[in-house]
A and B are shown apart, each in its own frame.
Chain A
Amino acid sequence: MSTVLAKQDRLKIFGLLSPAYLWLTVAIFLPLSAMLYFSFLSDVPFGQKEWFHTTENYKAFFTTPTYSILLWKSLRLALMVTVISVFIGFPCAYVLAKTIKGRAREALFLLVILPFWSNSLVRIFSWAIVLRGNGILEVGLNAVLPFEVDVNLMFSTPAIVIGLVHSYLPYVILTSYLALQAIDDNLIDAARSMGAGKLTILWRIILPLSLPGLLAGAVLIFVPVVGSFMEPRILGGRVGTYFGTVIEDQFVAVYNWPLGAALSFVLLAVVLLILAISSPILRKART
């Protein structure tokens, strides 16, 4: 009797899960395997051009210093964007979760999510209009300030960081907000009644309890920013060459798909490695 039930349960579980697994197979596993296969070819297997299997594309990464320099540059950019997003996003999330109540919270939440509803390309081009010399920012500041300022951030690393932080900030706000909201207010009151200062409460209670959410947000930002290409290209100008833009070039300009695929998998491996190394810290944060 019990085995029959288990069988039914298993069928039910299988039935309920199959759409998700089918989706994962079609949308993620198949394209990724195709790209993994491409990365071991000498040329794209279309038309009459000859091709063969090779590991040359992966060797290219290790023998050409250009790629490792750019990967290091991309990792530094991602770290910078993540840290800045956390420093801006966590206080925002705290205020949303603990200070503001009711209608105002909904309105502010809407404002946080609003940029997510617009196309990312539109967002980046808007920043280009704001940041360029004689752009909205410069004209606006000069209209208000008593002295002339010269703001031309366009085509510089700060411009890239501003664009990326703006694009990815909602992730860290949303994940931190969920974690912060789950903290029982009585805990904070209890700590305060025992004489803990504001900093102590933040350091000993709020931060440890909300760390899983904060770290989840940080990972959600770090991973896509390492491979970002559109923002650096548009906002970075001369300094906007990163690992992501080189991968993009292989696909759209040079048409060396195998090398582009190989570089993408190197990036994937490095990101997984970083997550694996930091996983003890992540796990500790959860307990």
Chain B
Amino acid sequence: MNKSFFAASALAAFSIGSAVAADEIRVLNWQGYGTDLDWAVAAFTDKTGHTVVHEYFNSEQEMLTKLRTNPGAYDVVLINAAFTPQAQDEGLIGPIDASKISNIADVPENLTGNEDLNAGGALHGVPWTWGLTSFAVNTNEFDTMPSSIEVFWDQSHQGKVSIRDDALEAVQFAAIATGQDINNIENLDAVKEKLASLMPQIKTYWGSENDWNQFMAAGDLSVATFWSGSASRSMSAGLPVQFVVPQEGAIGWLDGLSIPASSTKQDAAHAFIDWMIDPEFYVKWAAEGAPASANAKAAAALPDDAFNKRVLGDPEVVARVQFQRPVSDEDREAYLALWQELKAAQ
């Protein structure tokens, strides 16, 4: 009797002990964006014993609000590099301990040294993925792929055009079309005029990747702005679309994984980020449709015909990309007012 009681309490103590070593980390990310793949989470749990729970946001503003209102609730958060300085400045995220992330050695220095990810003088976001915001066309409607962004203003595609309902994206898209620097738009009137002349061409705005796929599959659209990672997913899902990086250029973005300053599970969080930039994880993810990896070793491990190697691996394409920098609140408000005014005039 006494013996079995002792055994039971020892067992209980053991299971409590292992529960402490194996943490449950909470990840904040866009839904369906890599970190929440079932097989990836299962592999991470097998490897480390830590379990992963996800929570999602639908906009960067929502992500920041969630970090502000729920301190301690999250352990890993995906932050676009253009927002990392703001999150760092508000004290929402803490510095990364690179010694706990062995794979970071394979990330090129121009990415780990990115000015925005190193906000506050220390690495606050591990470069994870990057990609382009450009456009994709319905291959049933085009015999030859367009090479210019002017295809959006082509009368023959009137009523079959779409852009995302997002002020910043719309303004930067028009900045590229008017030959301006997306991070320093000097002629906002030209942008407004360009967008105003685009409006009659537009059928509807799209909001999510799912929207986009539905509109394309229904044949509602011929040409629409799109993200490179989403385009590779849509193509591998069999939609008749092709991603285009026009001669005028495209918007580039860099996503980093950060650890909230309030996280109490730093080790598990670092381990999860290490797994997220692991080539083994990336190659499998890319087969299902992923953005380009920040890890050079992971990118090199892709098959030659992979979308991310074929399109985004071309140095000539990368040279045309303008990478997004942080946007000041004043500019953001001006863009929003411009976009709302254009939408209200319809």
Contacts and interface: CB of A to CB of B under 8 A. Distances in A.
A64 B65 CA distance: 26
B218 interface: yes
B61 A253 contact: yes
Interface stretch (B5-13, B33-41, B128-136, B336-344): B336-344
A65 B166 CA distance: 20
A46 B66 CA distance: 9
B337 A47 contact: no
A69 B92 CA distance: 39
B35 to A, nearest CB: 22
Contacts, number: 70
A73 B202 CA distance: 20
B205 interface: yes
A236 B62 CA distance: 25
Interface stretch (A75-83, A85-93, A214-222, A237-245): A237-245
Contact of A252 (B62, B64, B203, B205): B62
Nearest to A237: B204
Contacts of B202: 237-238
Contact of B343 (A46, A64, A155, A241): A241
Interface in B65-106: 65, 67-69, 90-92
Given A49-B68, A49-B90, A134-B219, A241 B58 contact: no
A49 B64 CA distance: 11
A248 B344 CA distance: 14
Given A252-B62, A255-B59, A241 B336 contact: no
Contacts of B199: 238
Contacts of B336: 254
A238 B344 contact: no
A241 B62 contact: no
Nearest to B201: A238
Interface string A87-130: 00000000000000000000000000000000000000000000
A165 B265 CA distance: 53
Interface string B196-227: 00010011110000000000001110000000
Q: Point out which of B202, B204, B344, B345 has the most chain A C-beta atoms below 10 A from its C-beta.
A: B344
A65 B340 CA distance: 11
A253 B61 CA distance: 7
B205 A238 contact: yes
B337 A46 contact: no
B84 to A, nearest CB: 16
Nearest to A73: B344
A154 B219 CA distance: 13
Contact of B344 (A44, A69, A236): A69
Contact of B203 (A46, A47, A69, A155): A155
A70 interface: yes
A238 B220 contact: no
B341 A66 contact: yes
13 contacts: A66-B337, A66-B341, A66-B344, A154-B220, A155-B204, A237-B202, A237-B204, A238-B202, A238-B204, A238-B346, A246-B344, A252-B59, A255-B61
